[in-house]
């Protein structure tokens, strides 16, 4: 991945105080000038893994929630105000709600959904303090009832039946709809113990979460900075809607699109962001596409990890936020189609699976899978089992966790980057990184522990061991400014290289502290957050490159960071703003909001394409010629803008960290109720 790069070049210092005054870059390049969508580029874009899916769906009827179980429940539970809101929402579309015309999209029979919060109103003056980090273990997460809406409509049931009948994974979907126990390292755990053991389908909750209504009521109106995010989203969506509708990714400069899985990846990844930002019309239109056009019955290879975190995760979180069962049906269909990936001798899944034929396979050049990929699908598969009552998803994913837990080849909790699907052993031993191919392994140890109500102590132990391993083997301070950074270790040799991907770590550390882990972790989180900010700040565009190298000895030029020419690109990645969100939520220090605001302005200045959309750029050190790559990754809408919006909120109840855990693609999933 890093081969072929030329020597390091010095980084020109960016003034610490002032705002960049470089000429505004105008993206007026001719068609096709952007870089091709090469395998190399994809490798960089999806360094933790890659890709695709497909499958069945039929037209779905509109949901009239005023007359649904939710509406009845609200009335019964003496929530008349909420019930009235719901009634109003379920009426005929207002002028504002009328479906816009979209090329190739038939806006007939638009469903009526509960409305997201309003986007265009005046700024809020919320004075609610951000959440403070917890010093000790406290109470568990509040009880969270996730209830699916009434799906008794005839058409809806036909829809569901059709999708399930078409799933290639049916051969695997025998199966266990019976309540049972699971084994966790020899211990038999009853479902009631709160491990999220699936309920039988018939027993699964059937009503939408009142949290949806509550969230809309409590979220408040967007403040000025949040309005800035909404404006950015609308600009990005404008390009996607006009030039790439229903396709995977927008190519904003050439005003076209690229396909990875051929499944409307950006649209699915962005669904919950639209909900959270209150983009009612956009959400409804996208929902119609999912209902009428999204078809997983398709002969296409998808990457298990990438499609799980983006598609499965996106559908599940949208289901939770909206209460619209369409998204759960799609998620279950898709989950079934991914299951053949787990049919390997070791049960370590293959990287790729054809969701139409059910044939799974590793990449052409190896029988290895990437460690971060096989260990970063658990949040989604566990939640799918919990919602559907079908155990196989959770069992397959947790088998991987158990297997990796017991493997030799780790170094003080640190894992290698590859694992063989036949032998089940780590390969390429002795190389350790927190960047590509290992990163979200660490993230999901903590997040699964949180998701399951902090009961699965093995996950916590592995996480804590890994953090100690990081401190011992990978953490260093740069010269001359002593920035704390995380490097890499190869056969005992330290490399001061840090991917921007590693900038997820300060946020994860802060999340752990919020949930009761050591205050030491917060010190490290804050130090790393400063480093990640400087990785942006010290670039001429204010945007981080993909990879930096830190100076271990006092350099001649007084700079801490060097960037190699091959590493100068920025793919609109989220990790820095993701961590800023967690750091602000857990400390209340407004400097983190200010840093995020600077980064949003840099995105607007150097990556925004006038005709709609944002583009990855080739050179973050060249404000006059950043060179657009002509690609807007789906995670820009799924993650980057979502985390910015949440960062700028002063309401800790807006997707509370006590109620939700975000998957590695920023899709919020509920923390399971304590027993």
> Residue 550 or residue 635: which is nearer to ligand DMJ going by CB?
635
In 384-538, DSSP assigns E strands to: 418-420, 426-427, 431-432, 475-477, 484-486, 488-490, 493-495, 497-499
Distance of CA 219 to the CA centre of its chain: 21
Q: What is the rounded CA–CA span in Å between residue 377 and residue 411?
A: 23
Two tokens at 349?
Answer: 């899944």
Question: What residues between 313 and 342 interact with ligand DMJ by CB under 6 A?
Answer: none
Question: What residues between 463 and 502 interact with ligand DMJ by CB under 6 A?
Answer: 501
**Of all helices (H) and strands (E), which one includes residue 250?**
strand 249-251
> Residue 597 or residue 635: which is nearer to ligand DMJ going by CB?
635
Give me the least distance between CB of 373 and ligand DMJ, in Å please. 10
Per-residue contact string for residues 1-40; x = within reach of ligand DMJ by CB under 6 A: ----------------------------------------
> Residue 60 or residue 307: which is nearer to ligand DMJ going by CB?
307
> Residue 43 or residue 152: which is nearer to ligand DMJ going by CB?
43
Q: Under a CB-based contact definition with an 8 Å cutoff, are residues 405 and 458 in contact?
A: yes
- 369 forms beta bridges with 419
Q: Under a CB-based contact definition with an 8 Å cutoff, are residues 673 and 145 in contact?
A: yes
Task: Say how many Å lie between the first and final Cα of the chain, rounded.
Answer: 45
Which of 69, 79, 160, 306 is an active site residue?
306
664 binds ligand DMJ (CB under 6 A): yes
Give me the least distance between CB of 568 and ligand DMJ, in Å please. 16
Sign of the dihedral defined by the CA atoms of residues 571, 604, 241, 31, in that order: negative
Instruction: Give the contacts of 431 (CB within 8 A, at least 6 positions apart).
Output: 416, 417, 488, 489, 490, 491
Question: What residues between 110 and 129 interact with ligand DMJ by CB under 6 A?
Answer: none
Instruction: Give the contacts of 38 (CB within 8 A, at least 6 positions apart).
Output: none
Active site residue 69: no
> Residue 211 or residue 450: which is nearer to ligand DMJ going by CB?
450
Give me the least distance between CB of 272 and ligand DMJ, in Å please. 14
Q: Under a CB-based contact definition with an 8 Å cutoff, are residues 480 and 538 in contact?
A: no
In 123-176, DSSP assigns E strands to: none
Distance of CA 583 to the CA centre of its chain: 17
Q: Under a CB-based contact definition with an 8 Å cutoff, are residues 35 and 630 in contact?
A: yes
Question: What residues between 34 and 73 interact with ligand DMJ by CB under 6 A?
Answer: 48
Active site residue 575: yes
Q: Which of 354, 297, 356, 327 is nearest to 162 (CA)?
A: 297
What does each C-alpha distance from 50 to 33, 197, 255, 503, 566 come to in angstroms?
25, 29, 24, 20, 21
Which of 69, 248, 439, 456 is an active site residue?
439
Give me the least distance between CB of 663 and ligand DMJ, in Å please. 9
Two tokens at 568?
Answer: 């100068």
> Residue 70 or residue 302: which is nearer to ligand DMJ going by CB?
302
> Residue 421 or residue 440: which is nearer to ligand DMJ going by CB?
440
CB atoms within 10 A of CB 201: 12
> Residue 48 or residue 337: which is nearer to ligand DMJ going by CB?
48
Question: What residues between 541 and 570 interact with ligand DMJ by CB under 6 A?
Answer: none
Residue of the chain from 222, 228, 264, 574 that contacts ligand DMJ (CB under 6 A)? 574
In 410-487, DSSP assigns E strands to: 418-420, 426-427, 431-432, 475-477, 484-486
Give me the least distance between CB of 634 and ligand DMJ, in Å please. 8
Judge residue 122's burial from the number of C-beta atoms within 10 Å of its C-beta, 0-12 exposed, 13-18 middle, 19 or more buried: exposed
Per-residue contact string for residues 497-526; x = within reach of ligand DMJ by CB under 6 A: ----x-------------------------
Residue of the chain from 373, 530, 567, 665 that contacts ligand DMJ (CB under 6 A)? 665
> Residue 184 or residue 636: which is nearer to ligand DMJ going by CB?
636
Give me the least distance between CB of 579 and ligand DMJ, in Å please. 12
Give me the least distance between CB of 271 and ligand DMJ, in Å please. 15
Give me the least distance between CB of 574 and ligand DMJ, in Å please. 6
- 396 forms beta bridges with none
- In eight-state DSSP terms, residue 638 is I
Residue of the chain from 235, 241, 573, 631 that contacts ligand DMJ (CB under 6 A)? 573
Two tokens at 639?
Answer: 């993650």
**H helix intervals, 515-574:** 519-537
Residue of the chain from 370, 440, 536, 551 that contacts ligand DMJ (CB under 6 A)? 440
Q: What is the rounded CA–CA span in Å between residue 175 and residue 198?
A: 13
Give me the least distance between CB of 265 and ligand DMJ, in Å please. 10
Q: What is the rounded CA–CA span in Å between residue 117 and residue 226?
A: 13
Q: What is the rounded CA–CA span in Å between residue 175 and residue 153?
A: 26
Active site residue 439: yes
Three-class secondary structure of residue 103 per DSSP: coil
Active site residue 272: no
Which of 249, 272, 546, 665 is an active site residue?
546
> Residue 392 or residue 573: which is nearer to ligand DMJ going by CB?
573
Give me the least distance between CB of 659 and ligand DMJ, in Å please. 21
Report how many residues bind ligand DMJ under the rule CB under 6 A: 9
Count CA within 13 A, CB hemisphere, residue 666: 33
Give the position of tokens 């953090």: 467
Which of 575, 578, 630, 658 is an active site residue?
575
Strands 488-490 and 497-499: unpaired
> Residue 160 or residue 272: which is nearer to ligand DMJ going by CB?
272
Instruction: Give the contacts of 34 (CB within 8 A, at least 6 positions apart).
Output: 251, 253, 254, 615, 628, 629, 630, 631
Give me the least distance between CB of 510 and ligand DMJ, in Å please. 17
> C-alpha angle with apex 441: 439 to 443, nearest 5 degrees?
75
Per-residue contact string for residues 397-436; x = within reach of ligand DMJ by CB under 6 A: ----------------------------------------
Give me the least distance between CB of 590 and ligand DMJ, in Å please. 25
> Residue 14 or residue 667: which is nearer to ligand DMJ going by CB?
667
Question: What residues between 598 and 637 interact with ligand DMJ by CB under 6 A?
Answer: 635
Q: What is the rounded CA–CA span in Å between residue 76 and residue 136?
A: 39
642 binds ligand DMJ (CB under 6 A): no
Q: Which stretches of the chain bind ligand DMJ, using CB under 6 A?
A: 48, 440, 501, 573-574, 635, 639, 664-665
Catalytic residue ranges: 306, 439, 546, 575
């Amino acid at each position: 991945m890093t081969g072929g790069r030329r020597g390091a070049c010095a980084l020109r210092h960016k003034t610490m105080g002032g705002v960049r005054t470089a000429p505004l870059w105008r993206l007026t390049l001719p068609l096709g000038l952007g870089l091709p969508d090469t395998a190399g580029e994809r490798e960089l874009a999806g360094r933790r893994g890659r890709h695709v899916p497909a499958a069945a769906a039929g037209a779905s009827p509109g949901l009239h929630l005023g007359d649904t179980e939710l509406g009845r429940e609200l009335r019964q539970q003496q929530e008349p105000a909420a019930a009235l809101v719901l009634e109003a929402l379920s009426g005929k579309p207002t002028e504002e709600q009328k479906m816009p015309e979209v090329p190739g999209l038939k806006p007939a029979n638009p469903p009526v959904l509960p409305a997201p919060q309003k986007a265009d109103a005046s700024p809020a003056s919320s004075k609610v303090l951000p959440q403070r980090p917890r010093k000790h273990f406290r109470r568990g997460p509040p009880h969270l009832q996730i209830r699916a809406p009434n799906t008794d409509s005839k058409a809806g049931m036909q829809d569901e039946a059709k999708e399930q009948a078409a799933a290639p994974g049916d051969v695997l979907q025998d199966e266990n709809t019976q309540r049972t126990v699971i084994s966790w390292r020899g211990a038999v755990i009853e479902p009631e113990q709160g491990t999220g053991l699936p309920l039988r389908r018939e027993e699964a909750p059937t009503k939408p979460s009142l949290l949806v209504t509550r969230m809309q009521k409590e979220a408040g109106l967007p403040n000025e900075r949040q309005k800035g995010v909404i404006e950015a989203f609308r600009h990005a969506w404008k390009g996607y809607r006009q030039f790439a509708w229903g396709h995977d990714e927008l190519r904003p400069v050439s005003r076209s699109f690229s396909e990875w899985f051929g499944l409307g990846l950006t649209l699915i990844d962005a669904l919950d962001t639209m909900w959270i930002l209150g983009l009612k019309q956009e959400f409804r239109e996208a929902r119609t596409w999912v209902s009428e056009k999204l078809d997983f019955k398709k002969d296409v290879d998808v990457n298990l990890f990438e499609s799980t975190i983006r598609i499965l995760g996106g559908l599940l979180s949208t289901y939770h936020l909206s209460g619209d069962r369409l998204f759960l049906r799609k998620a279950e269909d898709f989950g079934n189609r991914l299951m053949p990936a787990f049919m390997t001798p070791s049960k370590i899944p293959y990287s790729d699976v054809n969701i139409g034929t059910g044939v799974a396979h590793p990449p052409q050049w190896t029988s290895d899978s990437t460690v971060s990929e096989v260990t970063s699908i658990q949040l989604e598969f566990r939640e799918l089992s919990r919602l559907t009552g079908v155990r196989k998803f959770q069992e397959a994913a947790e088998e991987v966790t158990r297997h990796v837990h017991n493997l030799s080849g780790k170094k003080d909790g640190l894992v290698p980057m590859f694992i063989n699907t036949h032998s089940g052993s780590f390969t390429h031993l002795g190389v350790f990184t927190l960047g590509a191919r290992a990163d979200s392994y660490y993230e999901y140890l903590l997040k699964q522990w949180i998701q399951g109500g902090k009961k699965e102590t093995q996950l916590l132990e592995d996480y804590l061991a890994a953090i100690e391993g990081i401190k011992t083997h990978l953490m260093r301070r740069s010269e001359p400014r002593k920035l704390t950074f995380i490097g890499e270790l190869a056969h005992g040799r330290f490399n001061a290289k840090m991917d921007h991907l590693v900038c997820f770590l300060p946020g994860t550390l802060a999340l752990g502290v919020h949930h009761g882990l050591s205050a030491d972790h917060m010190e490290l989180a804050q130090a790393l957050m400063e480093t990640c900010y400087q990785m942006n700040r010290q670039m001429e565009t204010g945007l981080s490159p993909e990879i930096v190298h830190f100076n271990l000895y006092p350099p001649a030029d007084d700079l801490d960071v060097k960037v190699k020419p091959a590493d100068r690109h920025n793919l609109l990645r989220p990790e820095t703003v993701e961590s800023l969100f967690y750091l602000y939520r857990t400390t209340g220090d407004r400097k983190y909001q200010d840093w995020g605001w600077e980064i949003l302005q840099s995105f607007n200045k150097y990556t925004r394409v006038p005709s709609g959309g944002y583009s990855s750029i080739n050179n973050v050190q060249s404000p006059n010629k950043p060179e657009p790559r002509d690609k807007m990754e789906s995670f820009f809408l799924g993650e980057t803008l979502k985390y910015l919006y949440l960062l700028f909120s002063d309401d800790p109840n807006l997707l509370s960290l006590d109620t939700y855990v975000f998957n590695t693609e920023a899709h919020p999933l509920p923390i399971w109720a304590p027993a």
